[in-house]
């Protein structure tokens, strides 16, 4: 029962405990609030049977402006009555400063004076004493008072007062309840805020800190925070950093040379068509040694490859694109660091000429990774993929043959998701020798380009990719920083 009481009901009960009953005005003063508030709290407590609330209508008089004047100077009839002793010539009386028609009329009407042959006489034993009494101390219901009201001298007023009394149940509750007795003990005028002065002066010992209902719901505040997708990206970055990978970073604008040609994508390959790629009216010079890439395309260079045949066009290689994959950064990194070991990764935006719909956006993140070292092979590629996905919390991982122009063998990893089955996650493979040979890269390169937004949809429960880039603030506010069961892949 106590838990249901509002704090103010408790204060009210505590205030009543010593008094048995009190009017609202007294209680309002004691509780430092308004009478209205006291009545409201008493209504609540009364509904629970803890107090009785009695309503009384009180009648009284107030003075009109005229009345307040008479209170000072006497009623008009008193003024006339007191201006002569026994009798006076009417014409003389009319000259007197205190004469007034209302007062003289009243005296005549109530037969306190007579007028005969121009002479005014006071009637024997007459007085205005009782009328004056009624004006000064009006008694509710008196005839003279009613007349004064009628004359517009007094005003009848009506006021309502409340009397609150504690019931036996209420009293019992106060005695039983720890909270209320404590509040009683400390007094009800508790202190809301602990001040610096109270702490320094030691006044805190005597001031009673008000007790709060700690079960009430808090005010909702939203912390500033990172985007849920960025947090997921950081989680993935963390995994690769922990595995000893170097993070790489590079420009959004790439020459076709780095985006396609260096990756042995034939110049007439459909993926290079305008249909799928954002081309730019910009050109970039080719790096030293571009001729080796040309030779590889045309004849297979010095490898066992036949090459694509045909003629390789330098103009096509110089034209810029918005990078269609971060593999354009990986190959540049390898061209700069040809000596083993190289372990590098990046998570960054790539661009495809796709119409926007819930599962396609013209830009999205790709997770790129490469491992170049002596003795690395396909088995290790599968190992890295498996390790990453298991650290991301995907237990079932399987591999299907895939095809990408710059890897051989190629593989498409899939993860198992309850309710969805096997979900394709991207592509991976070992860079073809046609890719690595022109740059003098000395060992095989394991490489992968994985979909990040796919993981985000699964992990963040999104059905529409667009929400990652045009986010509802409420979704960010309400998506928790820590997700249960997200251990970052630590199992031991």
Find the binder of another protein among 187, 309, 396, 440 (CB under 8 A): 309
**Cβ 15 vs Cβ 31: under 8 Å:** yes
Helix, strand, or coil here: 390?
A: helix
Across-strand partners of 58? Answer: 159
Tell me how far, at minimum, the Cβ of 258 lies from another protein, in Å: 12
Q: Is 415 in the site for another protein (CB under 8 A)?
A: no
In the complex, minimum distance from the CB of residue 188 to another protein, in angstroms, rounded to a whole number: 37
> In whole angstroms, what is the distance from residue 200 CA to residue 207 CA?
13
The one among 244, 419, 421, 480 contacting another protein by CB under 8 A? 244
Binding mask 352-371 for another protein (x = CB under 8 A): -xxxx----xxx-------x
Site string for another protein, 101-140 (x = CB under 8 A): ----------------------------------------
Nearer to another protein, 142 or 250 (CB): 250
Q: Which two tokens stand for residue 478?
A: 């309400």
270 binds another protein (CB under 8 A): yes
Q: Which of 19, 182, 249, 339 binds another protein (CB under 8 A)?
A: 249
- Binding to another protein (CB under 8 A): which residues in 388-407? 398-403, 405
Query: In this structure, are strands 407-417 and 421-424 parallel, antiparallel, or unpaired?
Result: antiparallel
- If the CB atoms of residues 112 and 343 are measured against another protein, the closer one turns out to be 343
Closest separation in Å from C-beta 138 to another protein: 55
Q: Considering only CA atoms, give the Rg of the chain.
A: 49
Per CB under 8 A, the list member of 111, 193, 215, 306 interacting with another protein is 306
Q: Which of 48, 108, 204, 250 binds another protein (CB under 8 A)?
A: 250
Lookup: tokens for 343 = 């372990």
**Least distance in Å: CB of 425 to another protein?**
13
Report 456-475 residues binding another protein (CB under 8 A). Answer: 468-474
Q: Residue 311 burial (CB < 10 Å; 0-12/13-18/19+)?
A: exposed
| Pairwise CA distance, residues 184 & 180, whole Å | 6
Closer Cβ to another protein, 96 or 283, answer by number: 283
Residue 302 lies near another protein (rule: CB under 8 A)? no
What is the smallest separation between the CB atom of 223 and another protein, expressed in angstroms?
A: 7
Contact window for another protein (CB under 8 A) among 117-125, 145-153, 302-310, 484-492: 302-310
Beta strands in 330-389 (DSSP E): 342-351, 363-372
Cβ proximity of 365 and 466 under 8 Å = no
Q: Is 258 in the site for another protein (CB under 8 A)?
A: no
Binding residue for another protein, selected from 21, 167, 305, 338, defined by CB under 8 A:
305
> Which lies closer to another protein via its Cβ, residue 158 or residue 472?
472
Residues touching another protein: how many (CB under 8 A)? Answer: 98
Nearby residues of 17 by Cβ (< 8 Å), 6 or more positions away:
166, 171, 174, 180, 184
- Listed as own residue / partner, the contacts of 354-359 with beta carbons closer than 8 Å and 24 or more positions apart are 354/276, 356/466, 358/463, 358/464, 358/465, 358/466, 359/465
- Interface positions, 274-293, toward another protein (CB under 8 A): 274, 278-282, 284
In the window 168-227, what residues touch another protein (CB under 8 A)? 222-227
Query: Residue 74, interface with another protein (CB under 8 A)?
Result: no
**100: its two tokens:** 């007034």
Q: 485 with 393: CB under 8 angstroms?
A: yes
Q: Could you tell me the smallest distance in angstroms from the CB atom of residue 231 to another protein?
A: 9
Ranges assigned E (strand) in 356-482? 363-372, 397-401, 407-417, 421-424, 426-431, 445-451
CB of 216 to another protein, least distance (A): 21
Choose between 79 and 254: whose C-beta lies nearer to another protein. Answer: 254
Instruction: Report whether 122 contacts 112 (CB < 8 A).
Output: yes
- Is-contact 84 93, C-beta < 8 A? yes
Bridge-based pairing of strands 445-451 and 363-372 is antiparallel
Shortest reach from residue 293's CB to another protein, in Å: 16
The one among 98, 292, 476, 483 contacting another protein by CB under 8 A: 476
Query: Given the complex with another protein, which of 200 and 220 has the nearer CB atom?
Result: 220
Other CB atoms closer than 10 Å to residue 90's CB: what's the count? Answer: 16
């Amino acid at each position: 029962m106590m838990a249901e009481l509002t704090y103010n009901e408790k204060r009210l009960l505590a205030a009543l405990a010593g008094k048995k009953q009190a009017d609202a005005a007294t209680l309002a003063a004691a509780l430092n609030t308004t009478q209205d508030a006291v009545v409201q709290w008493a209504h609540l407590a009364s509904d629970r049977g803890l107090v009785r609330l009695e309503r009384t209508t009180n009648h009284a008089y107030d003075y009109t402006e005229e009345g307040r004047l008479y209170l000072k100077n006497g009623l008009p009839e008193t003024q006339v009555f007191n201006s002569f002793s026994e009798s006076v010539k009417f014409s003389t009386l009319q000259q007197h400063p205190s004469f007034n028609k209302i007062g003289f009329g009243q005296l005549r009407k109530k037969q306190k004076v007579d007028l005969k042959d121009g002479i005014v006489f006071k009637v024997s034993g007459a007085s205005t004493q009782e009328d004056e009494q009624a004006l000064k101390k009006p008694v509710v219901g008196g005839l003279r008072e009613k007349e004064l009201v009628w004359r517009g001298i007094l005003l009848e007023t009506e006021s309502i007062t409340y009397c609150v009394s504690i019931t036996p149940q209420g009293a019992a509750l106060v005695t039983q309840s720890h909270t209320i007795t404590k509040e009683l003990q400390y007094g009800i005028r508790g202190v809301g805020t602990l001040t610096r002065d109270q702490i320094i002066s030691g006044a805190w010992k005597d001031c009673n800190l008000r007790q709060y209902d700690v079960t009430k719901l808090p005010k909702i505040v939203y912390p500033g925070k990172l985007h849920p997708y960025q947090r997921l990206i950081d989680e993935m970055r963390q995994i690769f950093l922990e595995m000893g990978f170097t993070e790489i970073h590079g420009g959004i604008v790439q020459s076709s040379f780095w985006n396609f040609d260096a990756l042995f994508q034939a110049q007439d390959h459909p993926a290079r068509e305008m249909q799928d790629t954002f081309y730019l009216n910009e050109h970039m010079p080719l790096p030293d040694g571009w001729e080796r890439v040309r030779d590889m395309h045309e004849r297979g260079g010095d490898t066992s490859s036949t090459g694509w045949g045909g003629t390789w066009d330098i103009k096509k290689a110089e034209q810029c694109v918005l990078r269609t994959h971060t593999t354009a950064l990986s190959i540049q990194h390898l061209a700069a660091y040809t000596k083993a070991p190289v372990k590098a990764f990046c998570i960054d935006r790539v661009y495809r000429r796709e119409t926007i719909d819930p599962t396609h956006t013209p830009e999205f993140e790709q997770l790129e990774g490469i491992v170049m070292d002596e003795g690395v092979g396909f088995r290790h590629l599968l190992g890295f993929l498996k390790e990453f996905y298991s650290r991301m919390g995907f237990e079932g991982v399987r591999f299907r043959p895939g095809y990408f122009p710059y890897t051989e063998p190629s593989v498409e990893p899939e993860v198992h998701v309850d309710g969805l089955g096997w979900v394709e996650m991207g592509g991976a493979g070992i860079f073809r020798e046609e890719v690595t040979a022109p740059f003098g890269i000395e060992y095989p390169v394991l490489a992968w380009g994985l979909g990040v937004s796919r993981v985000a949809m699964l992990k963040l429960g999104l059905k529409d990719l667009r929400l990652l880039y045009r986010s509802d603030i409420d979704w960010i506010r309400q998506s928790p920083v820590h997700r249960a069961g997200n251990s970052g892949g630590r199992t031991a």
